[in-house]
Amino acid sequence: MRYISTRGRAPVLDFEGVTLTGLASDGGLYLPESWPQFSADEIRAMRGLSYPELAYEIMAPFVGDSLTDQELLGLCQQAYGAFDHAAVTPLVQLDQQHWLLELFHGPTLAFKDVALQLLGLLFEKFLEKRERPLTIIGATSGDTGSAAIHAVAGREGVEIFMLHPEGRVSEIQRRQMTTVSASNVHNIAIAGSFDDAQSHVKRMFADPVLTDTLDIGAVNSINWARLMAQVVYYFAAALQLGAPDRKVAFSVPTGNFGDVFAGYVAAQMGLPVERLIVATNKNDILARAIRDGDYSVGESHATITPSMDIQVSSNFERLLFEANGRDAEGLAAQMDGFGQSKTLALDPMQREGIAEMFSAHRATPEDTLTAMRWAYENCGEVIDPHTAVGLHAACSLTMADEIDPAIPVVTLATAHPAKFPDAVEQAIGTRADLPDRVGDLFALEERFETLSADYEAVRDYISAKATR
Ligand SMILES: Cc1ncc(COP(=O)(O)O)c(C=O)c1O
Ligand SMILES: N[C@@H](CCOP(=O)(O)O)C(=O)O
């Protein structure tokens, strides 16, 4: 498979190249040149496969010649063997129409593990042949950081610098990152928001102070391999609910738009997806963009769903590209304008294309707490606040009859409730226990640097510390 940039001015890459690259050199994001297709019969034949076997089937067309079939299947078996549930991403029924897809059975208790456990292995495999180390620079609002750190800590040939917004991740999330003592892990708290951290990271991919002497890689969802691995669980859930002979809708707690874009990819590949619901918190730029065509950056609000406190949503660019008929030149102009003005008006073609598949819904903190209470009192399920944003959106649409009652609606349960004990206690009066596999985070020493949000300060720190 060949990969092209959304802005059309970067080299075309193969899967290995795109995995090790991250952001395209023209500032765009890589996408496959075309979408692999599965017929209804081919999807039916996937029923009953184990998760690693299914992952292999879905990802093989994207990987192409970069790995042999045996290598890819072996990596899937290794990555998903580390999960604490045999189904890897089990489905839980809430009521007649609503389901939860539990994506938090990996080592760091969030959906990020599903892709990052595999990505760590892909890095190791591809780096065997290279002499220079890969310097990973990432930004996290809490979950990508720990999942990425656990995926690469102690691995040869990789070093990771992870930026998080100081005081704006939960204590458990911070400790999951900062108590890892491997020498190739560097945590940096910046005095700013996640958006500041993410914009710094993107700028570093084009900064010769770093790129002249370092090979920089990405673990955020700007890296195509992240999204590819997330496509698999949409197939896994829909197959269990009757696909391809029955349509399924998904409600996705959304921030950087990676997870829900993976659902869009599944639909492009032939999975019968009825609707993708983009569920946001008070940081509702995506809800405004999808409903009103207005993608303009607002103030970044701190909420009880900190991982979704995001304004500039990286992967929305991928959808804008798809929705303008893959016109790279047009998109580059649109994104240049957005870079300057921080506002972007979707054109009619983009609005129409997006409305065909996506709905959007915003949850207030009270909506979020109510959804957590509802799941607990009616279904005995303790859910995390991010999942609750998704569940609130799912229930709002079904109650408004916007989704046919015969269609199952799957809310993606993106994190384990123990990661957000304060919000859980506020909602249901009790705290969720951390699973044993996390260890005693409070007994370990934390290690991180605190820096101002100034770009040069962060870049120079990384430049001075990185191994060459
Ligand atoms: C728990 C949780 N839910 C939802 C999201 C939003 O996912 P995405 O950024 O892929 O839209 C995130 C962060 O990305 C998260 O950590
Ligand atoms: N919520 C994320 C933000 C980064 O998203 P990514 O999917 O692009 O890595 C986090 O937890 O860090």
Structural tokens at position 167: 């005081």
SS3 at position 172 = helix
Q: What angle do CA 361, 363, 364 make, to 5 degrees?
A: 150
Separation of alpha carbons 309 and 307, rounded Å: 6
The rounded Å distance from CA 264 to ligand 1 centre is 16
Please state the atom number of ligand 2 nearest to the C-alpha of residue 164.
Answer: 12
The rounded Å distance from CA 299 to ligand 2 centre is 18
SS3 at position 46 = coil
Which ligand is nearest to the Cα of residue 389, counting in written order?
Answer: 1
The total number of structural domains that make up the chain: 1
Question: Letter for the amino acid at 128?
Answer: E
Separation of alpha carbons 185 and 215, rounded Å: 16
Per-residue pLDDT of the chain (468 residues; tens, 9 = 90+): 999 999 999 999 999 999 999 899 999 999 999 999 999 999 999 999 999 999 999 999 999 999 999 999 999 999 999 899 999 999 999 999 999 999 999 999 999 999 999 999 999 999 998 888 999 999 999 999 999 999 999 998 999 999 999 999 999 999 999 999 999 999 999 999 999 999 999 999 999 999 999 999 999 999 999 999 999 999 999 999 999 999 999 999 999 999 999 999 999 999 999 999 999 999 999 999 999 999 999 888 999 999 999 999 999 999 999 999 999 999 999 999 999 999 999 999 999 999 999 999 999 999 999 999 999 999 999 999 999 999 999 999 999 999 999 999 999 999 999 999 999 999 999 999 999 988 889 999 999 999 999 999 999 999 999 998
The rounded Å distance from CA 233 to ligand 1 centre is 15
* Any atom of ligand 2 within 6 Å of the Cβ of 220: yes
- The CATH number covering residue 331 comes to 3.40.50.1100
The rounded Å distance from CA 245 to ligand 2 centre is 33
Please state the atom number of ligand 1 nearest to the C-alpha of residue 259.
Answer: 10
Separation of alpha carbons 210 and 135, rounded Å: 10
- pTM score: 0.97
Please state the atom number of ligand 2 nearest to the C-alpha of residue 138.
Answer: 9
Max CA pair span of the chain: 58
* Any atom of ligand 2 within 6 Å of the Cβ of 140: yes
The protein residue with its alpha carbon nearest to ligand 2, atom 7, reads 221
The protein residue with its alpha carbon nearest to ligand 1, atom 15, reads 307
**Who contacts 316 (Cβ-Cβ below 8 Å, separation ≥6)?**
257, 286, 289, 295
Please state the atom number of ligand 2 nearest to the C-alpha of residue 110.
Answer: 11
Buried b (16+ CB within 10 A) or exposed e, 419-432: bbbebbebbbeeeb
**Short-list 116, 126, 211, 206, CA closest to 162:** 116
**34 Ramachandran zone, left/alpha/beta (phi>0; psi -120 to 50):** beta
Q: What angle do CA 433, 438, 439 make, to 5 degrees?
A: 95
Question: If you count them, how many residues does the chain have?
Answer: 468
* Any atom of ligand 1 within 6 Å of the Cβ of 255: yes
* Any atom of ligand 1 within 6 Å of the Cβ of 145: no
The protein residue with its alpha carbon nearest to ligand 1, atom 12, reads 307
Active-site annotation holds for 465: no
The rounded Å distance from CA 308 to ligand 1 centre is 6
Separation of alpha carbons 153 and 174, rounded Å: 16
**Short-list 129, 116, 163, 126, CA closest to 20:** 126
Separation of alpha carbons 107 and 424, rounded Å: 21
The rounded Å distance from CA 356 to ligand 1 centre is 23
Which ligand is nearest to the Cα of residue 138, counting in written order?
Answer: 2
Task: Ligand 1 pocket test: pick from 227, 308, 389 the residue with the most ligand atoms within 8 Å of its Cβ.
Answer: 308
SS3 at position 351 = helix
Structural tokens at position 456: 């040069």
Which ligand is nearest to the Cα of residue 148, counting in written order?
Answer: 2
Predicted ipTM? 0.99
Distances (CA, A) of 64 to 36, 72, 119, 268: 11, 10, 16, 18
Beta strands in 233-283 (DSSP E): 248-253, 273-280
**Who contacts 275 (Cβ-Cβ below 8 Å, separation ≥6)?**
249, 250, 357, 358, 359, 397, 403
Question: Letter for the amino acid at 329?
Answer: E
Q: Which domain holds residue 366?
A: 91-107+224-428
Tell me whether residue 452 is in a domain. no
Tell me whether residue 174 is in a domain. no
Tell me whether residue 154 is in a domain. no
SS3 at position 171 = helix
DSSP state of 433: P
Please state the atom number of ligand 2 nearest to the C-alpha of residue 307.
Answer: 1
Tell me whether residue 173 is in a domain. no
Separation of alpha carbons 263 and 280, rounded Å: 16
Separation of alpha carbons 372 and 443, rounded Å: 30
Structural tokens at position 406: 């015969």
Q: What is the pLDDT of residues 269-316, one digit of tens each?
A: 999 999 999 999 999 999 999 999 999 998 889 999 999 999 999 999
**Short-list 167, 158, 60, 146, CA closest to 104:** 146
Structural tokens at position 327: 């016109």
Which ligand is nearest to the Cα of residue 151, counting in written order?
Answer: 2
Separation of alpha carbons 154 and 172, rounded Å: 21
Tell me whether residue 50 is in a domain. no
Structural tokens at position 437: 């596999």
C-alpha distance across the termini of the chain, in Å: 31
The rounded Å distance from CA 277 to ligand 2 centre is 18
Asked if 137 contacts 201 with a C-beta cutoff of 8 angstroms, the reply is yes
